[in-house]
Structure 1
Amino acid sequence: MMGNKEKNATKICKELWLHPFESRIELSKNLKLDKSTVTSEVAKLIKDNIIIELPKEIDDNSLSSGRKPIPLILNKEFGVVLGIAIQVGSCTVSEVSLSGLVIESKEYFLNITKENIKEEVLRIYNEFLFTRTKNDPKCYGLGIGVGGLIDYRNNTIKYSVTLDVEQEFSFIEEIEKETKLVVTLENNANCCAWSKLVPNNDSLSDFIFVLLEFKQALIPHKKYGGIGVGLGFVIDGKIHYGVNSYSGEFRSCFCKEKNENQTLLSKEEEKRVLEDSEIMARFIAEISANIASLANTLDVSCIYIGSDIEKPANILSSKIEKDINNNWLFPVEKKIKVTCSSFGTNTIALGAAQKLINELFSLGLLPE
């Protein structure tokens, strides 16, 4: 069991991970800790090179307004984790500092399935280790993001087209035994939500992340060659998983037939969506109507749209803004920010890493 000092150190580090640049006074207030406790803990964390003091802001009133608070951040040299984003036909790996900074990313073009995922993840990790020196920050774990029905409570996959999983599948414990690291598993859309949740300097507590994956529609796949649409929900500042941990699995409310389609587009239309403007317009209109209704019902503050192709995301953003207003019943002004997030698999990999860092803090493993 952790002692109070370790608990307080963990609380302080996690708070600075979530809200970098807070001062000792803000830490004391937000964590409900005595100022003397925060001062003592921060001094030790600075001595251990885990926290860094930034220069004080100087203004013309600095002499008359008293001592300025000193902003604090986690040291990017404190440690790192690897975020691994697995998609159809490719895999992106990002080295992320424990402060949440992406240090380096690399893309691999390979087909990962349940048959080879353990070997490929271990190969990627060993390749990463080969480049390390004794002076490099310690690696604390691996965060993996993949499309499908993910049970976050026990790190298992219930179903995944990407990995060709149709029955419950688990591989995380095997990788943990091989690497002696903490390894987490998360759904791709939830990873994107994690990437916006941390750091949370905008204090966003309720938002939706809409993930669109068009490129996989161009990749032949024995089960599925369509557009990927997934949602990540953040409610009250936390990822919302739902009772079965299936929250965010999208299917248009306009679909009436029992089939594998997420929207009214046929499989053939999905393959042509990037080259046929009429098909794209129908797709955008259908997605927008669904998201606008959800946004108004949940009363979120923001909608992020991430897409591997930029133009459709921009069109969808404008359409959702209009549909939110049209869908709103009451004569009371309502503002929901709709913005495009720079997406690539880096977003998924970063979010997978942030989910892992949160787990490390929750387990009391940071700082050591």
Structure 2
Amino acid sequence: MHKSTNKRCKSNGKVARSGRVARSNGIDQTEKARNAARIIRTIWKNPLISRYEIAERLHLERSTITHQVNRLLELGLITEISEGQAGPAGGRKPIHLAINKDYGYIIGIEMQVEAYSVVAVNLAGEVLRFKTAEKLITPEHFIQEVLEIALNFAEEMGGTERLIGVGVGMGGIIDSERGLIHYSIPLHLTSPLDFAGAIAERTRIPFLIGNDANCCSWGELAFHKADGLKNFLFTLVQFRSGNVAIQEYGGVGVGFGIVIDSKVYTGTNFTAGEFRSAYWTDGNRAQFSIPYEEIMTVTKNPQILERFTRELARNVALFVNTFNLNKVFIGGDIEAYDLDAPAIFAEEIRHNWMYPTPPACEATYSTLGEKAVSYGAAGMLLYRIFTSTHLPVDYEGDQDPLVLSLHL
């Protein structure tokens, strides 16, 4: 069995950037990087795949597959897992390949007004460490607070040497491609903030930022890739007990992560998924028709909780049936309560459906609970890596090829 060597190299919490691309022929190197990205993406989406199957799926020469797979094994990005069964004609048994889940780890952070949660996951999405803590976050110190949370947690993980990057999720209108926070009600950011630029001035560790509900969708795409998810909705429901959240909007926040054709849809101005109930009444500080004074009691009053869930489900039903989605995830704090929210959602989806055949949409809990946003933020970064179009594995230098693939 091939023994791989992980040659990743980082120092002082910063990703080294020395070295030059081995480039005897620029076009040839670009093609190699493109093929490497296609190969590792295929392995990521299809664990326990063989070299032969990769060649068949990608229509690449066996020599190309052999060279690239050997290089990925050498870097420690993939590993050989087991031998498969020989074909009917006999011959050598195929060796199965998989992503090396222990190649490194990713940190995911959820930033709230008065608290944060942070998680570390490996490349298989297995949670290595998780914690949540109270902390008052202010716009003036937001960048520094995020950086300190990430670096302190990395130290708890043994340092930054194996840290691939950090994903951050928060409520607001966010351009995750450019790393720009346009607006955030919960964190009181009322003017655009160049998050990516500010972070880059302080560290070379890759940071990505995204809307909290969108992060949850990226998490489902990244860590449940084998489930064939293509068109779904992630409904993020958060119940906040802090004084600021209670006073401003009743402590109940809802947002949607929308996935169409396996891509997170953010809309023209990155506001897709921002939610206000179709039954909302003018002047209500909450997002629903339920008066502010009543929705404040949603976590303590079962009748208000069911009424809230029913109104939310009716809004979701219209969206689900209009766009013919096949799954609805319900995630966040609502998972912890004694209420069958998926059954209520399914009932309202059926009620809204106009045809005699039942709607082909399943409503289910996400099972991530309080980890939903931070876990999803880690998934956002992992998804960006493995859907990159280029993976420069022949880079002559000590920078991590996964970091290079982020194009930051």
1:167 corresponds to:
191
Alignment of 1:305-316 (within 5 A): 305-310=330-335, 312=337, 314-316=339-341
The number of residue pairs the alignment matches comes to 362
SS across alignment from 1:55:
strand
**In the TM superposition, what is the alpha-carbon distance from 1:302 to its structure 2 partner?**
0.8
1:112 corresponds to:
137
Q: TM-score, normalised to structure 2's length? A: 0.81
Residue 147 of structure 1 aligns with an amino acid whose one-letter code is: G
**Gap change, CA 1:326 and 1:49, over 3 Å in 2:** same
Match 1:190 to one of 191, 201, 214: 214
Larger RCO (CA under 8 A, 6+ residues apart): 2
2:15 corresponds to:
none
**In the TM superposition, what is the alpha-carbon distance from 1:81 to its structure 2 partner?**
2.4
What percentage of aligned pairs have identical amino acids? 34
Alignment of 1:143-292 (within 5 A): 143-199=167-223, 200-214=225-239, 216=240, 218-221=241-244, 223-257=248-282, 259-292=284-317
Q: Does structure 1 retain, via aligned residues, the 8 Å contact 2:249–2:286?
A: no
Residue 349 of structure 2 aligns with an amino acid whose one-letter code is: I
**Gap change, CA 1:137 and 1:126, over 3 Å in 2:** closer
**Gap change, CA 1:147 and 1:29, over 3 Å in 2:** farther
Matched, 1:366 2:402: yes
Match 2:109 to one of 70, 75, 84: 84
Indicate the larger mover: 238-247 or 88-97: 88-97
**In the TM superposition, what is the alpha-carbon distance from 1:256 to its structure 2 partner?**
4.2
Q: TM-score, normalised to structure 1's length? A: 0.89
Matched, 1:17 2:44: yes
- After superposition, the C-alpha distances for 1:169-202 in whole angstroms (9 at most, x for unaligned) are 2333222221112211101111111111113101
The CA distance in 1 between the partners of 2:79 and 2:70, in whole Å, is: 10
Q: Does structure 1 retain, via aligned residues, the 8 Å contact 2:255–2:273?
A: yes
CA RMSD for the aligned pairs?
2.5
Residue 186 of structure 2 aligns with an amino acid whose one-letter code is: T
2:70 corresponds to:
43
- After superposition, the C-alpha distances for 1:191-219 in whole angstroms (9 at most, x for unaligned) are 111111113101111111111112x1x22
SS across alignment from 2:376:
helix
**Gap change, CA 1:63 and 1:241, over 3 Å in 2:** closer
1:74 corresponds to:
99
**In the TM superposition, what is the alpha-carbon distance from 1:227 to its structure 2 partner?**
0.7
The CA distance in 2 between the partners of 1:133 and 1:274, in whole Å, is: 38
Q: Does structure 2 retain, via aligned residues, the 8 Å contact 1:18–1:198?
A: no
**Gap change, CA 1:286 and 1:17, over 3 Å in 2:** same
Question: Unpaired segments of 5 or more residues in structure 1?
Answer: none
2:79 corresponds to:
52
Q: Does structure 2 retain, via aligned residues, the 8 Å contact 1:189–1:248?
A: yes
- After superposition, the C-alpha distances for 1:316-336 in whole angstroms (9 at most, x for unaligned) are 210111122221111234321
SS across alignment from 1:163:
coil
